Amino acid sequence: MASSPKRRIAVTGLGLVTPVGNDVDTTWSALLAGKSGAAPITNFDASGFSTTFGAEVKGFDPETAIPNRKLLKYASKSHRFALAAASQALADAGIAPTEADSHRWGLAVGAGMLSVDYEDLKVVHRHAAADGNFNADGLMDPEFPGNPLAFCRWQANAGQALLTKQFGIRGYASSVHTACASGGQAIGTALKVMRRGQCDFMLAGGFDSMLNPLGISGFCLLGALSTDNDNPSGASRPFDLTRNGFVLGEGSGFLVLEDWDRAVARGAKIYAELAGDGNSLSAYRITDSPPDGNGPIQAIHQALGDAGITTGEVDYVNAHGTSTQMNDRSECAALKAVFADRISEVRVSSTKSSMGHLIAAAGAVEAAVCCLAIRDGIAPVNANYGTPDPDCDVNLVIGAPVKMKIRAALSNSLGFGGSNSSLVFRNPEEVQA
């Protein structure tokens, strides 16, 4: 018996909080201009670390950005970014859960790697130093993070819980923890949930903030961060021969996904079709992708197969492109293996060159970037590029964005532990043709 056609899924809303803008329009304009969000760290004294800069979210006011302010006491820094970005996405889509349909709404999030805020850690340290242990009096201190509110903030699913409470989502919820692939794999999860008919609408995205002493120290010890302390704005230079590590960032991105026919029937603005998802494991090293691109290759092939398109229909790739030596070479090897003789026709850029690496949020933010690229017919620039690397000889967008029709865009996210995510987004005109 012939299988039924796959359910089409529309992207109808976007929301972003990033180091280069606290909304979609500001972020997109900054990316097209190649503006950098990297600067010396301001939220703690980083002078003792080998890297003293990062890509912080700037000028963010949760009191005005988040509709339900009562949730703020339960929300860590990254959760606040998530609540704001998700609110933007729903407002952009012009639709939200109601009492009548909340059971048909779902949520899939790529959650941050560290769920404890630096401020909480400082209070723990102060109490430990003063008391020598965590006694009953300390646990009752409202400033001590052993109290119930702080304990709730620390939970791995806290962001998911806050989002379901904020928006009244009752149909499905999942929290994905696959490091830098989390945001992309959360969106892939949402696609699967909708295709099997469990939900008609999904809020999908990611959030993270590791710009604290624990996050910086860990990545410094791994040798993963750029040490260009005298040139933060030029430090993230994916695929450049002189690259020497990534720039740690923070933020959140969310997409509203909707049944295609429902979206068309209500006259919704459709950015793109979320057409394909690929998910693989490299099983190589905890911190590196394999030199031959195996693993990422499988994820890309899966995503293209799931979307039912060929390599000849992909015009733009938003690469994972972290600006580390091993990752960039591995990803380029994967792209060249997949696209073969057509690799010179596919435009490639990494918007981490402007925003830095948002870890669990990266895949979701970059998925939104693909939707914007399709909408406006423009491939964003791979900023800070100056010296070609012969191992990364793909068709990079350098110097300025490129105006072009994008029939399909590929978004790659490659995480610690070997988790790989690839997503395919199709131009609405291609779907309707």
For residue 74, the model assigns a pLDDT of 86
Give 76-97 pLDDT, tens digit per residue: 999 999 999 999 999 999 999 9
What percentage of residues in the chain have a pLDDT greater than 90?
81
For residue 417, the model assigns a pLDDT of 82
Residues 139 and 229 in one domain: no
Residues 107 and 127 in one domain: no
Cα-Cα-Cα-Cα dihedral sign, residues 240, 243, 245, 246: negative
pLDDT average, residue stretch 52-71: 93
Residues 124 and 238 in one domain: no
Residues 213 and 239 in one domain: yes
Residues 254 and 399 in one domain: yes
Which residue has better confidence, 433 or 35? Answer: 35
Give 21-50 pLDDT, tens digit per residue: 999 999 999 999 999 999 999 999 999 999
d(CA 362, CA 423): 13
The answer to whether residue 2 sits within a structural domain is no
Phi first, then psi, for residue 309 (nearest 5°) are -125, 165
Residue 123 has pLDDT above 60, yes or no: no
Give 226-271 pLDDT, tens digit per residue: 999 999 999 999 999 999 999 999 999 999 999 999 999 999 999 9
d(CA 178, CA 175): 10
| CATH code for the domain in which residue 284 is found | 3.40.47.10
Split at pLDDT 50, 70, 90, the class of 136 is: very low
The answer to whether residue 3 sits within a structural domain is no
For residue 72, the model assigns a pLDDT of 87
For residue 286, the model assigns a pLDDT of 78
Residues 43 and 138 in one domain: no
Split at pLDDT 50, 70, 90, the class of 115 is: low
Residues 72 and 132 in one domain: no
Give 377-410 pLDDT, tens digit per residue: 999 999 999 999 999 999 999 999 999 999 999 9
For residue 25, the model assigns a pLDDT of 98
Residue 138 has pLDDT above 50, yes or no: no
Residues 265 and 384 in one domain: yes
Two tokens, residue 103: 């059971």
For residue 284, the model assigns a pLDDT of 86
CB 411 within 8 A of CB 370: yes
Amino acid at 2: A
Give 334-360 pLDDT, tens digit per residue: 999 999 999 999 999 999 999 999 999
Single out the catalytic residue among 357, 370, 371, 392.
357
Residues 314 and 404 in one domain: yes
Residue 131 has pLDDT above 90, yes or no: no
CB 360 within 8 A of CB 206: yes
Domain of residue 310 covers: 9-115+155-432
Which residue has better confidence, 126 or 187? Answer: 187
Q: What is the pTM of this model?
A: 0.93
For residue 340, the model assigns a pLDDT of 97
Residue 142 has pLDDT above 60, yes or no: no
The residue among 134, 150, 166 that closes a domain is 150
How many independent structural domains does the chain possess?
Answer: 2
Residue 135 has pLDDT above 70, yes or no: no
Which residue has better confidence, 205 or 430? Answer: 205
Single out the catalytic residue among 127, 199, 320, 371.
320
Residues 219 and 89 in one domain: yes
Give 268-324 pLDDT, tens digit per residue: 999 999 999 999 999 888 788 889 999 999 999 999 999 999 999 999 999 999 999
Single out the catalytic residue among 79, 127, 177, 180.
180
Task: Look up 180 and say whether it is catalytic.
Answer: yes
pLDDT average, residue stretch 70-77: 88
Residues 256 and 280 in one domain: yes
What percentage of residues in the chain have a pLDDT greater than 70?
90
For residue 151, the model assigns a pLDDT of 64
pLDDT average, residue stretch 127-141: 47
For residue 118, the model assigns a pLDDT of 63
